[in-house]
């Protein structure tokens, strides 16, 4: 079987997250828009992208940058119109690029018509669409902490009850135990699937259900400040979640070739919950994010521990996906920055993400080594940054404008962008890197096309051969084909002993030319080398 047969776009392809406000501005207002994404589809297609996940674009008061939806069937005017969206979808499909939308249904905006009605009286028909409770002996019903700190309970003076919000108080949680709510979600999914959307990224889906008996979460100092010093036993991952995911999946499966990827928000607690969302029978989420790599130190042995753990729990009928950066955490290259070595590290990361087992998700700009922008107090737009500055600076830094050229405003916009550019845009931009054969961008392009051409990289097994703090080596095998990957995370030369008697052909390396031969035995691995080998014909 060659690499192209049975090619499933969301399994074998490379997916790419776009923060729509920061990709490309066509209207000259400093904010990216849907037409801007359409204008850059050729770039994405040349890069070898199979699917784009668009950050939230539905109508929203933007208190949480669009993760507070006020109308699920519309496009926020900031991004354009429904016609712009349909054009984007059609043009993407012409190029074989699939479109995944953000589906944000743990909560709505407090400006959504459902919540306006729900909060209007205790006996309106939408009251039970959200989670309302009386005070318990004059106090909040439980000790549950919101993901952004503070209580999940907000007192509503008018109707004299509390409503629950897992995130900001302007994002009331929907009541997923109510059949009408579920049907409304599934109808919304159908609305977009009928338009031709290829799938959804489901925002914090492990929070949909909360404990019905309203038991307090156990206090736990070791859970840390971001968990509000409690174990979230009763506020997420509740029994019944599988049933909901099954229902969602059955909506999707009425259409051909669609998918959903779950955002399973647990930050730093390992893959257990992500795996639950995949399900043993492969009938829940097609993919689920495991975020450990976003919190892993630059240490080859730590990287390998994470994936070893992840792969060891993936059910036989499940499929892993892998991610190093997204819109909620500092970009990987910023986390791992090492002065002049930053781009070298970017290439090692690229080789890792694109040669391990599972679907890679890139975050726009990752392919050029785009770093976070520096954000000062007056630049902050993210509510979390506004709430907690300067202790927590918010997520604006990683949502920075894409750098297309060294022209005015990095070719992103004709006017000053909504967030600061990174000051390095004269060097770090698409146009310059296209011309430079040794650029990070060209390395990504080569890796992506290699990946697509080699069955072991797309569908092969994964075998970790060795790893220490500096070096990781693994094999990908499919039928009788074998690919060997060795990555040096360190700035010093290292050696690696290969115990097989084979001669190796260089498929791609940061340091040697492709098709050169590496002899059996002892390999020298150059500083920050990414070396991808295939068995040579003898």
**Binding-site ranges for ligand GLC (CB under 6 A):** 64, 67, 104, 167, 203-204, 263, 265, 327-328
The sign one gets for the Cα dihedral 90, 93, 95, 101 is positive
Structure tokens that stand for 185 in this block:
């979600």
Cβ atoms within 10 Å of 297's Cβ, excluding its own: 10
Structure tokens that stand for 15 in this block:
């997916």
* Residue 261 or 410 with smaller CB distance to ligand GLC: 261
3-state secondary structure of 71: strand
Q: Is there a contact between 205 and 262 (Cβ–Cβ < 8 Å)?
A: yes
* Residue 62 or 434 with smaller CB distance to ligand GLC: 62
Angstrom distance (rounded) from CA 381 to CA 430: 26
Find how far residue 508's CA is from the centre of its chain: 26
- Please report how close the Cβ of residue 102 comes to ligand GLC at its closest, in angstroms: 8
* Residue 147 or 356 with smaller CB distance to ligand GLC: 147
* Residue 267 or 434 with smaller CB distance to ligand GLC: 267
* Residue 63 or 348 with smaller CB distance to ligand GLC: 63
Annotated catalytic, 263? Answer: yes
- Please report how close the Cβ of residue 268 comes to ligand GLC at its closest, in angstroms: 14
287-288 and 321-323 strand pairing: unpaired
Range 296-299 contact pairs with CB under 8 angstroms and sequence separation of 24 or more: 298/335, 298/336, 298/338, 298/345, 298/489, 299/469, 299/489
Nearest one of 500, 454, 438, 444 to 473, comparing CA atoms:
500
Segments of 364-480 assigned E as strands? 461-467, 471-478
Q: Is there a contact between 344 and 438 (Cβ–Cβ < 8 Å)?
A: no
Angstrom distance (rounded) from CA 110 to CA 273: 29
* Residue 33 or 203 with smaller CB distance to ligand GLC: 203
CB-nearest residue to ligand GLC: 67
Annotated catalytic, 366? Answer: no
Per-residue DSSP letter, 150? S
* Residue 168 or 245 with smaller CB distance to ligand GLC: 168
Residue-wise DSSP of 253-309: TTSSS-EEEE----SSS-SHHHHHHH-TTS-S-SEE---GGGG--S-HHHHHHHHHH
Instruction: List the catalytic residue out of 84, 102, 203, 398.
Output: 203
For 335, the enclosing helix (H) or strand (E) is helix 332-335
Angle at 267 between CA 364 and CA 341, to 5 degrees: 50
Angstrom distance (rounded) from CA 492 to CA 11: 35
CA dihedral 4, 7, 10, 13 (to 10 degrees): 0
Angstrom distance (rounded) from CA 43 to CA 55: 19
- Please report how close the Cβ of residue 68 comes to ligand GLC at its closest, in angstroms: 7
- Please report how close the Cβ of residue 166 comes to ligand GLC at its closest, in angstroms: 8
Instruction: List the catalytic residue out of 68, 154, 263, 290.
Output: 263
* Residue 49 or 204 with smaller CB distance to ligand GLC: 204
Hey, which residues are catalytic here?
203, 263
């Amino acid at each position: 079987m060659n690499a192209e047969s049975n090619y499933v776009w969301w399994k074998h392809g490379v997916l790419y997250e776009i923060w729509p406000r920061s990709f490309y501005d066509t209207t000259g207002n400093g904010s990216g828009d849907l037409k801007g994404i359409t204008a850059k589809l050729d770039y994405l297609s040349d890069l070898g992208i199979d699917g784009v996940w668009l950050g939230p674009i539905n109508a929203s008061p933007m208190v949480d940058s669009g993760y507070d939806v006020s109308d699920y069937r519309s496009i926020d005017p900031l991004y354009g119109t429904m016609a712009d969206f349909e054009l984007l979808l059609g043009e993407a499909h012409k190029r074989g690029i699939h479109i995944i939308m953000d589906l944000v249904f743990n909560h709505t905006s407090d400006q959504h018509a459902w919540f306006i009605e729900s909060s209007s009286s205790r006996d309106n028909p939408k009251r039970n669409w959200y989670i309302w409770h009386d005070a318990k002996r004059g106090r909040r019903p439980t000790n549950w902490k919101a993901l952004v700190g503070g209580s999940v309970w907000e007192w509503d003076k008018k109707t004299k009850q509390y409503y629950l919000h897992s995130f900001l108080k302007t994002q009331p949680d929907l009541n997923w135990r109510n059949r009408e709510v579920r049907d409304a979600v599934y109808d919304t999914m159908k609305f977009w699937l009928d338009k031709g959307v290829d799938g959804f990224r489901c925002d914090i889906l492990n929070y949909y259900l909360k404990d019905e008996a309203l038991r307090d979460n156990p206090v736990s100092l070791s859970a840390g400040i971001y968990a509000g010093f409690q174990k979230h036993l009763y506020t997420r991952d509740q029994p019944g979640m599988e049933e909901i995911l099954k229902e969602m999946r059955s909506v999707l499966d009425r259409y051909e070739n669609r998918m959903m990827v779950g955002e399973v928000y647990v930050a730093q607690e390992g893959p257990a919950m992500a795996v639950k969302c995949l399900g043993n029978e492969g009938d829940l989420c097609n993919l689920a994010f495991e975020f450990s790599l976003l919190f892993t130190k630059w240490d080859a042995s730590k990287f390998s521990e994470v994936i070893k753990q992840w792969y060891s729990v993936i059910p036989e009928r499940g499929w892993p996906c892998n991610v190093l950066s997204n819109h909620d955490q500092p970009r990987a290259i910023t986390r791992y920055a090492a002065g002049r070595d930053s781009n070298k590290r970017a290439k090692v990361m690229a080789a890792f993400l694109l040669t391990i087992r599972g679907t890679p998700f890139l975050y726009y700009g990752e392919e050029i080594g785009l770093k976070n922008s520096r954000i000062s107090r007056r630049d902050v737009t993210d509510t979390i940054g506004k709430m907690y500055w300067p202790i927590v600076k918010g997520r604006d830094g990683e949502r920075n404008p894409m750098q297309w050229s060294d022209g005015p405003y990095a070719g992103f916009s004709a006017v000053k962008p909504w967030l600061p550019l990174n000051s390095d845009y004269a060097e770090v931009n698409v146009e310059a890197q296209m011309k430079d054969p040794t650029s990070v961008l060209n390395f990504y392009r080569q890796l992506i096309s290699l990946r697509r051409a080699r069955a072991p990289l797309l569908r092969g097994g994964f075998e970790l051969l060795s790893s220490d703090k500096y070096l990781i080596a693994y094999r990908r095998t499919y039928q009788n084909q074998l690919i060997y990957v060795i990555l040096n995370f360190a700035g010093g030369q290292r050696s690696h002993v290969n115990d097989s008697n084979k001669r190796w052909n260089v498929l791609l390396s940061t340091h040697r030319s492709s098709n050169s031969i590496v002899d059996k035995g002892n390999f020298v691995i150059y500083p920050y080398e990414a070396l991808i080998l295939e068995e040579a014909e003898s």
